[in-house]
């Protein structure tokens, strides 16, 4: 099935009151963010999408694909499921070796030539991790960041899913800017749950959550896009420091001063 659009029909918030937004539509190629305080229901919202909720989850939301109810095969046959969800708490429980697990998953997903697909997946994942994944080690031995990287790669390459939901990509210590750069090469619907201003401002629009309910839809306008350029520089600077500290370096005040000045800030 060719995915053109996904629609979220609003339900109720945690207090049982009707959600302020009653329809949110995402078109193929859209990148959107979901923002809001912790506990505000961001994860619950993407879970609803992934489950093709039909007024049967606590939020009573309903999900439409191309304007109609999604076919049963989306949930009964993994190879037909257009959605990949990378959850917030990812821990593998299977002690299968990485390579074997990916091979099985590729087969289930009907991804074709499993050997090349699996290698491609590992290659993608390794661009996001600090230390490369050993394909012979058990899935349970992977670090949090490696796990997350592998799941993203699995969703994009093996799943080849047209709709990708990512819960707090920034949290696992992977190269998130690299991840987004890589992801944006693919034409898909991306939904990022995030607390990170840089990611939020990268999206076409964002849904703001409060108390379990979709409160508002904010389009990233010209002004925000301009501000985003500056935020990007500051964020890169932070990443530089992070890299330095990770590599065992030492941070000096003078170094910080120079970098800020180079960006055009007075210290």
SS3 62: strand
Segment near another protein (CB under 8 A), from 102-110, 130-138, 181-189, 213-221? 102-110
Site residues (vs ligand ATP, CB under 6 A): 12-14, 36, 38-44, 58-59, 88, 212-213
105 forms part of the interface with another protein (CB under 8 A): yes
> Which of the choices ligand ATP, another protein, Mg ion, none does residue 108 contact, using the CB cut-off of 5 to 8 A by kind?
another protein
Alpha helices per DSSP H over 20-89: 42-50, 73-76
124 forms part of the interface with another protein (CB under 8 A): no
Per-residue contact string for residues 11-50; x = within reach of another protein by CB under 8 A? ------------------------------------x--x
Smaller CB distance to ligand ATP: residue 44 or 64?
44
Q: What angle do CA 74, 78, 83 make, to 5 degrees?
A: 60
SS3 189: strand
Residue of the chain from 14, 74, 90, 217 that contacts another protein (CB under 8 A): 90
Beta bridge partners of 210: 213
Shortest distance, position 254 Cβ to another protein, whole Å: 45
Residue of the chain from 15, 38, 68, 76 that contacts another protein (CB under 8 A): 76
The answer to whether 133 and 122 are in contact (CB under 8 A) is yes
DSSP line for 210-230: ETTEEEEEEE--HHHHHHHHH
The answer to whether 127 and 183 are in contact (CB under 8 A) is no
150/180 Cα distance (integer angstroms)? 14
267 forms part of the interface with another protein (CB under 8 A): no
Q: By C-alpha distance, which of 141, 147, 155, 117 is closest to 129?
A: 147
Smaller CB distance to another protein: residue 109 or 176?
109
DSSP line for 120-164: HHHHHHHTTSSS---TTSBGGGS-HHHHHHHHHHIIIIIS--SEE
Smaller CB distance to another protein: residue 157 or 201?
157
What's the chain's length in residues?
267
Residues 40-79 that bind Mg ion (CB under 5 A): 43
Shortest distance, position 57 Cβ to another protein, whole Å: 6
Shortest distance, position 92 Cβ to another protein, whole Å: 6
Chain residues binding Mg ion by CB under 5 A are 43, 88
- Which residues of this chain interact with another protein, rule CB under 8 A? 47, 50-51, 56-58, 75-76, 78, 81, 84-87, 89-90, 92-94, 96, 101, 104-105, 108-109, 151, 154-155, 158-159
């Amino acid at each position: 099935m060719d995915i053109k659009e996904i629609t979220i029909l609003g339900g109720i918030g945690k207090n049982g009151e009707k959600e302020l937004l009653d329809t949110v539509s995402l078109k193929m190629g859209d990148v959107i963010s979901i923002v809001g305080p912790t506990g505000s229901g961001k994860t619950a919202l993407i879970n609803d999408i992934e489950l093709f909720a039909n007024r049967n989850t606590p939020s009573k939301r309903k999900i439409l694909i191309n304007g109609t109810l999604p076919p049963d095969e989306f949930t009964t046959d993994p190879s037909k499921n257009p959605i990949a969800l990378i959850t917030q708490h990812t821990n593998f429980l299977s002690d299968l070796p990485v390579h074997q697990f990916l091979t099985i998953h590729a087969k289930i997903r009907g991804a074709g030539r499993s050997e090349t697909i699996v290698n491609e997946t590992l290659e993608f994942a390794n661009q996001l991790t600090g230390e490369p994944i050993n394909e012979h080690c058990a899935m349970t031995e992977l670090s949090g960041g490696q796990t997350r990287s592998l799941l993203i790669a699995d969703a994009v390459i093996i799943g080849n899913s047209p709709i990708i939901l990512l819960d707090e990509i920034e949290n696992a210590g992977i190269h998130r800017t690299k991840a987004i750069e890589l992801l944006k090469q693919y034409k898909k619907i991306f939904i990022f749950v995030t607390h990170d201003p840089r990611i939020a401002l990268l999206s076409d629009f964002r849904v703001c959550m409060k108390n379990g309910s979709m409160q508002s839809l904010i389009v990233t306008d010209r002004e925000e896009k301009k501000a985003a350029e500056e935020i990007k520089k500051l964020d890169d600077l932070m990443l530089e420091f992070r890299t330095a500290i990770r590599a065992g370096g030492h941070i000096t005040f003078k170094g910080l001063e120079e970098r800020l000045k180079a960006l055009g800030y007075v210290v």
